[in-house]
Amino acid sequence: MPISMGYVRLLQVGPSIFHIILVSSSPTAPHNLSFHIHFLYISIFFPPSLRSPILFYSSIYLLPPHTYINRNYLPPIRKMELKNMVAMVARSGRQLQRYNKGHRQVVGCIPYRIKSNKGMNVEDALEVLVISSRRKGKGMLFPKGGWESDESIKEAALRESMEEAGVFGTIERILGEWHFKSKTNDSLYEGYMFPLLVKEQLDFWPEKDIRQRVWVSVPKAKEVCQHSWMKEALDLLVKRLESPATNNNDEESI
């Protein structure tokens, strides 16, 4: 994180009002600053080496610029804390899009959680997260999107879940592969689906303003989901959870 660490070093030398002016006027600097008493809170910055802004939280002790500083008595400066580092703008464009024999490769996740109620069967205890389509009135679906050439298939699945649904968690063994045709044109697709055991749900995520998300039961998900292949993936997830022995440890966390 060269931009953020460089800014921390500037503060350690001795902050002044000119640092604040420089930060607020630079296109690569923090987007949202809150300055009170001794702490500067940085919310968003845009490193020139990356394609999208990064959200993080940090707190840094600021010393008055007009006072003489004996460095032997400096209070410890808190290390920068990166939390839920998130690309706040979803990827766009298809320059890196993967294709296989003319089929565009897409990857998705079924975000799920298990209710704590004991004695329930799997289907009753299971809740899944569905999101609205970007096209109004086109029903609900699970997060999915293009698999790009600069990421692994699991990285793509995790990214799509964060961008479209704002959830993080543990991605588990792949549910399967499907081939289908677009409902709006003749494009062919090769789709892969993974289960995502949700560990954290963000209040803000890249597509918050254009999508709704809702936790629903398995029957409700089948009712509202617009894609038959996603419903098949959900059936496979339920069967897997009903037989834990079939669910191995092939998983990845973020």
pLDDT per position as a tens digit, 156-203:
999 999 999 999 899 999 999 999 988 777 889 999 999 999 999 988
> Tell me, what's the pLDDT at 141?
96
Contact 100, 192 (CB under 8 A): no
**Are 162 and 205 in contact, with CB atoms under 8 Å apart?**
yes
Q: State both tokens at 217.
A: 């039961």
Global pTM exceeds 0.85: no
Q: Which two tokens stand for residue 216?
A: 């629903």
**How far from chain centre, in Å, is Cα 62?**
32
pLDDT of residue 198: 96
Cα separation, 245 vs 21, in Å, equals: 59
Mark 159-169 as b/e (b = at least 16 C-beta within 10 Å).
bbbbbbbbbbb
Q: Tell me the CATH class for 99-253.
A: alpha beta
Q: Per-residue pLDDT for 129 more than 80?
A: yes
Beta strands in the chain (DSSP E): 33-36, 39-42, 44-45, 54-55, 59-61, 86-87, 99-100, 103-114, 126-132, 140-141, 144-146, 167-171, 176-181, 188-201, 213-217, 252-253
Question: Which of 11-20, 64-73, 80-89 is least confident?
Answer: 11-20
- Terminal Cα-to-Cα distance of the chain (whole angstroms): 18
- CATH 3.90.79.10 range(s) for the chain read 99-253
* pLDDT for the residue 245: 65
pLDDT at 134: 82
Question: Is the pLDDT assigned to residue 63 strictly greater than 90?
Answer: no
| Interval 42-48 mean pLDDT | 45
Q: What is the DSSP letter of 245?
A: G
